[in-house]
Structure 1
Amino acid sequence: MSRNLQSSASSQSWKLSPSKVPTSDPDAEATLPEQVRSVFRLLTNPVVICTATHEGVPRAMTMSSFTSLTLSPVPLVSFNIATPSRTLEALMASREFNIHVLAGDASGAAVADHFTRGNTDGVFDTIQGATYTVGEPVPGSAPLIRGQGILRVLRCTLLRDGNTDGLVRVGDHVIVVGKVDEMIPVTKVKEFGLAYADRKYRLVGGVVDEE
């Protein structure tokens, strides 16, 4: 099933601003969790969208914990999700999910921000300038978002390792380990993906080379 989507939010709502000094300043008098939080705000993380389907209902969420675990013998990826989560429930039920790598520009930021608003019914009906597909390549598979702001999509399944079955519960989070089954190129545009640091979406900046 494929649908054309409209939205009241668009990439025109986002603009590129000059980089500023980080606002995060670890305070020795703050609690340890607050100190650690302020430290991690100094680090840049990738921004992706994870989609899954449960009983025909598409789910999605924006996340910044996505990372590669290994490429051999098969590519494995990992991320964590706070519980409770409808996207996690869909992922656990279907054991399939898609990771959407976002463009490092205003269009990528607009799509990322859209899916930070929760999994209310109809959240897929208001994506600016994109088309989402449910049921490709296999009926009932995870939603595939195509359009402005999406660079690549990794089609994944939960890792079956006999021990954790691809899911590790740690406190109020679940660490997800997935096997990459396919890379789907959405656009031929060559640019870096969207990043996040100090509570702001960011672009990849300059290069530090050895002289």
Structure 2
Amino acid sequence: MRKVPQPVVVVTTARPENPEYRRGITVSSFTSIALHPFPLISFCVRKPSRASDLLHEAGQFVVQVLSSHQVQQSLAFSSPNQEGVDQFKDVPFYSDPQTHNPVLMGSVGAMHCSTHNVFVLGDHELWVAKVDRVDHGVGSMRGTRDESEPLLYHDRRYHGVGEEVFMQAFEDHTLDFRQWTHRAHVRMAWNYLREMNQEEATPLIKHGIESYYKANKDKIQFVYNETITGFYIDLIHKAVQKDKLSGRSEDDDFFEFLERYPILKDRKVIKDYYSRELLDSDDSRQQFIEPDLQPLPTVQQLANESK
């Protein structure tokens, strides 16, 4: 399936009695089903999720085919919906006057849909939707009908839609610097380490970090630290190896990976292993140095600490 080009699609909806309660999700397996007697499309949503709950509650939603310049929008909706967090804060959109559902600006096209049928298949729901009307590029950032190229993914190492666009944005340096958080660092390294061994992945991770910061040097001053990078590569590699031993080598969900190893979410965990004096030293910046407070955790210790 990696050889098959597919568009990146975001589904948005809102609570009927409270349109300000809205959700968006980057979906997978989008396809057209039928044209007659009325248009039908389908997409898959992981279950359980808050997005799935709201889709069931609303019964109406908008399916947007993203354009090639909407990588950031795809990223914004590829992460789990956190309660109280406005996914649309930095995303240009408008509310449809008929349904009050959010419509992303700048898409190739938006399909206003209603639920036709939902099938539970494994850990996903297959949504079959009736297309009630179509906007061709309405909501363009330039205020015109925008026939831009769709955002596609195919034939890359990264399997999931979210990972595909995340890694593309990171490698192309188009990832918004505000999204380059500790969690994003871990996500990037995880993508490399699950696809290749540690020796192959390490230089790509280091080069990627330095290259990304160089491209964003006008936004922040950055001093690369070999020891800090090596420490987190070691932890992530061990977690990936633990997953492989547990039969999770094909797991494609980064956010479930973090739930299994919450220690990786803690950017301060390195202080349990290294003193501030050592991390601030010139030697630690230039070469990897073993911890001075306690040894690096083993695979089993990492799994135990994460329980």
**TM-score (ref. length: structure 1):** 0.64
Q: Secondary structure at the match of 1:192?
A: coil
Q: Which residue of 2 aligns with 1:175?
A: 126
- 1:115 Cα deviation from its structure 2 partner: 1.1
Kindly indicate whether the alpha-carbon contact (under 8 Å) linking 2:23 and 2:81 is maintained by their aligned counterparts in 1. yes
Q: Residues 132-171 of structure 1 correspond to what in structure 2 (within 5 A)?
A: 132-133=94-95, 136-138=97-99, 141-146=100-105, 148=106, 150-159=107-116, 166-171=117-122
1:28-76 Cα offsets, whole Å, 9 max, x none, are xxxxxxxxxxxx2232221111011135210101123111000111000
Kindly indicate whether the alpha-carbon contact (under 8 Å) linking 2:39 and 2:131 is maintained by their aligned counterparts in 1. yes
Q: Which residue of 1 aligns with 2:150?
A: 193
1:42 aligns with 2:3: yes
CA distance in 1, matches of 2:44, 2:93: 26
- 1:189 Cα deviation from its structure 2 partner: 2.6
> Which residue, out of 4, 19, 35, partners 1:71?
35
- 1:96 Cα deviation from its structure 2 partner: 0.5
Say which structure, 1 or 2, has more relative contact order (CA 8 Å, 6+ apart).
1
Larger Rg: 2
**Aligned residue type for 1:62:** T
- 1:177 Cα deviation from its structure 2 partner: 0.4
Higher helix share: 2
Q: Which residue of 1 aligns with 2:71?
A: 109
Aligned residues: CA RMSD: 1.8
Q: Residues 4-19 of structure 1 correspond to what in structure 2 (within 5 A)?
A: none
Q: Secondary structure at the match of 2:13?
A: strand
Cα 1:89–1:76 change in 2 (3 A) is same
CA distance in 2, matches of 1:61, 1:196: 17
Higher strand share: 1
CA distance in 1, matches of 2:29, 2:78: 14
CA distance in 2, matches of 1:132, 1:61: 17
**TM-score (ref. length: structure 2):** 0.45
CA distance in 1, matches of 2:150, 2:6: 10
CA distance in 1, matches of 2:76, 2:122: 27
Which ranges in structure 2 are unaligned for 5 or more consecutive residues? Answer: 159-163, 169-307
